[in-house]
A and B are shown apart, each in its own frame.
Chain A
Amino acid sequence: MELPILPTSVIGSYPKPRWLLRMYNLYSLGRLPEEDFREAVKDASVAVLREHERTGIDIPWDGEMGRSEMTEYFTSKIGGFRFYGPVRVWGNAYFNKAAAVSKLEYREPLVLDEFRWVKENTTREIVKVPITGPYTIAEWSFNEYYSSKEELAFELAKILNREFRLLEEEGAKFIQIDEPAMLNHPDEVPIAVEAINRAVKGVNVKFGLHVCFSNYHLLADHFDELRVSQFALEFANRKFRDMDFLRKLTHQELGFGVIDVHNPRVESPEEVARAIRKVMNYVEPERLYINPDCGLKLLDRRIAYQKLVNMVRGVEIVRKELAREGKKSIPFRRSV
């Protein structure tokens, strides 16, 4: 399978339509039947998928319309977790941090239904399925049951591995493991690496790994050990500074983050093109995918859309330049 050179994709989340947020609210208050809520989620999912496709993104997703939050969604589906209430992350932002209180159990598929629905509705050949990784779920949970975080993370790796096998059977080609917390404890990075490798073991799907807002020097030392073929990282946020660690990325691909997800200013196509030309000094274009820094969910929906449009336009500028060197497409690589 071939893709245009510099394939474009998203990281995962996208602003939920306002009407869907209202549905979430009504549903949480018990004033909307579950069936109606599920239907609303599916409709929003198609709407966002179309929006991604309209921007020209090569590898879209549905913007995680069915997920309330990136760990809570998983911890509420996996048996053995309980919730004591929200915990503050900064300012007035909170999240429902779960506590592992008994042996974790895989009770039901986690994202299989989402994938089926997107696959049924997309016009693209490949979609990217984002899933929160084992170490991040462990790190963003309290642990009252397991003897160590390592044990908890490995248990989660086992559960995710089951889900990945199901996804492979259903025809998923590209799974992105989201590990924003994997560099939280510099001493525990090897545990995160091992947990990720256990989660992907024996699954013949392309795996990407997304890590954001962290010290990437801690990740670069483990590039070679990680059994993934792509790292989707954030660069616009750090103004494309300190990219030297990319010298350690010798064979895997880079998902290059060119869109700042915390700033409403829309990047121009020329700005995006400039950033791509800069990163090509470190990674050759055949190993580059282009994406935003992170999920877009905190932005206004119109701004998120315009940012994706300009991202694709910026990519097209560089594609024209590469075409002159005869570089037009790359193979879709499951592993490298």
Chain B
Amino acid sequence: MIVPALIGSLPRPVSLAKKIEQYSIGRLSKEKLEEAYREHTRRAFVKLRNAGIKVITDGLYRWDDIFNPLIRFIDGIEVDGLFKFYENNFFYRAPVVRGELSLRENPIPEWINVALEIKEEVYPEATLKAVLPGPVTLAYHSINEAYESLNELAEAYANVLGELMKELPVKLVELQEPALAAELSRATREKKEDVSPEVAREIIEGLAKIRELWVVTYFGTPRVLPEGVIMNFDLIEGSVPENYSGRIGLGIVNARETKMERRDRLIDRLRPFLRKYGEVYVTPNTLLDFLPESVAWRKLRLLGKLGG
């Protein structure tokens, strides 16, 4: 069976970006901004329903990048300048780790609650995942000034994420873990240290005890394959390792190019996976932020047509 699913973000609509900007200069009230978030989320869920996407996220409309604003809710972190997010013309604000990490009170569980309510109203059949950055990706993209090693930093992040996950009102949590496949691009900066594969595997399997996990990788083939999770592989810029036998998501639609894939070719590509795994989730290969909104939706409608 083929199940179409969304991973990570949808492109932030320009109309929403304008509201956020107005809020930031004091020209829009907090209530009006919240209304705008909800209205845009509702529209997105209607479109996801019409496209036939069965497993969805809230589109990360409240997030500037996969790390922000989460890192603003962690003690021990200062938020620094803009860095290139892998090999994209897309930039994230980097966490600078200055002290021991601990989670502060934060609105993320409530945001998921709001999304759940909207989903129940407009698309009750869908499964909603919460999306968080993974501990390994967080560690690689941090400027570490506090922890002895990157392993320790990744473990500290895992503790913070674990605490947050316990608060989330959903069964399924997506971890954005591109660093399992592409650690830190030289386009971002020079890499000085590694998270060991053993530690990476151990901390992710630890988090999988708290909530069911969907681990999303992209921009390469993951070298770490945690057990007991749904693993998402990027078929455009990576592949599925031969020895992988767990549950599987396939990033089969290219979210970095506007050219439309052909449905029949995608089906051909999926056949061997269906034979081996029985059930596969199909997704874009990475975040949809890299596409214009209209094209992103066209690609999602194409994904929806693969379902069944």
Contacts and interface: CB of A to CB of B under 8 A. Distances in A.
A99 B258 contact: yes
B145 to A, nearest CB: 15
Given A142-B258, A184-B89, A88 B190 contact: no
Contact of B259 (A142, A183, A185, A186): A142
Among A87, A99, A185, chain B packs the most CB atoms within 10 A around the CB of A87
A242 to B, nearest CB: 9
A144 B17 contact: no
B294 A84 contact: yes
A181 B89 CA distance: 8
Contact of B65 (A90, A181, A184): A90
B17 A94 contact: yes
A215 B187 contact: yes
Contacts of B186: 186, 215, 218
Given A85-B294, A86-B14, A92 B21 contact: yes
Given A84-B294, A184-B87, 16 more contacts: A84-B295, A88-B17, A89-B90, A90-B90, A90-B91, A91-B64, A92-B21, A94-B17, A97-B89, A99-B258, A140-B89, A142-B259, A143-B257, A184-B89, A214-B187, A217-B190
Contact of A94 (B14, B64, B188, B189): B14
Contacts of A293: none
Main secondary structure of the interface of B (DSSP, over half): loop
Given A142-B257, A184-B87, A186-B185, A86 B292 contact: yes
A144 B21 CA distance: 33
A208 to B, nearest CB: 22
Interface of B: 11-12, 14, 17-18, 20-21, 64-65, 81-82, 84, 87-93, 185-190, 257-259, 289-295
A186 B90 contact: no
A169 B147 CA distance: 60
A96 to B, nearest CB: 9
27 contacts: A84-B292, A84-B294, A85-B293, A87-B11, A87-B289, A87-B290, A88-B11, A88-B289, A90-B65, A90-B82, A90-B90, A90-B91, A90-B92, A90-B93, A91-B64, A92-B12, A92-B18, A142-B257, A142-B258, A144-B259, A181-B89, A184-B89, A186-B185, A186-B187, A213-B82, A214-B84, A237-B81
A95 B295 CA distance: 15
Among A89, A91, A185, chain B packs the most CB atoms within 10 A around the CB of A91
A92 B17 contact: yes
A139 interface: yes
Nearest to B85: A90
Contacts of B291: 87
A185 B87 contact: yes
Main secondary structure of the interface of A (DSSP, over half): mixed
Nearest to A180: B89
B257 to A, nearest CB: 6
A312 B258 CA distance: 45
Contacts of A185: 87, 187
A185 B292 CA distance: 21
Given A86-B14, A90-B92, A97-B292, A144 B64 contact: no
Interface of A: 84-92, 94-95, 97, 99, 139-140, 142-144, 181, 183-186, 213-215, 217-218, 237, 262
B92 A215 contact: no
A32 B81 CA distance: 39
A30 to B, nearest CB: 19
Nearest to B92: A90
A215 B87 contact: no
A88 B12 contact: yes
Contacts of B82: 90, 213
Contacts of B93: 90
A237 B257 CA distance: 31
A184 B292 contact: no
B298 to A, nearest CB: 9
A102 to B, nearest CB: 13
Nearest to A90: B91
Among B87, B185, B258, B259, chain A packs the most CB atoms within 10 A around the CB of B258
A183 B185 CA distance: 11
A130 B153 CA distance: 44
A90 B87 contact: no
Given A87-B11, A215-B190, A144 B257 contact: yes
A97 B189 CA distance: 25
A84 B259 CA distance: 11
Query: Shortest 3 CB-CB distances between A and B: which pairs?
Result: A85-B292, A90-B91, A92-B17
A183 B12 contact: no
A142 B88 CA distance: 12
A323 to B, nearest CB: 37
A94 B189 CA distance: 23
A116 B75 CA distance: 56
A140 B84 CA distance: 14
Contacts of B292: 84-87, 97
A92 B20 contact: yes
B290 to A, nearest CB: 7
Nearest to A136: B89
Contacts of B20: 92
A218 B289 CA distance: 27
A91 B282 CA distance: 28
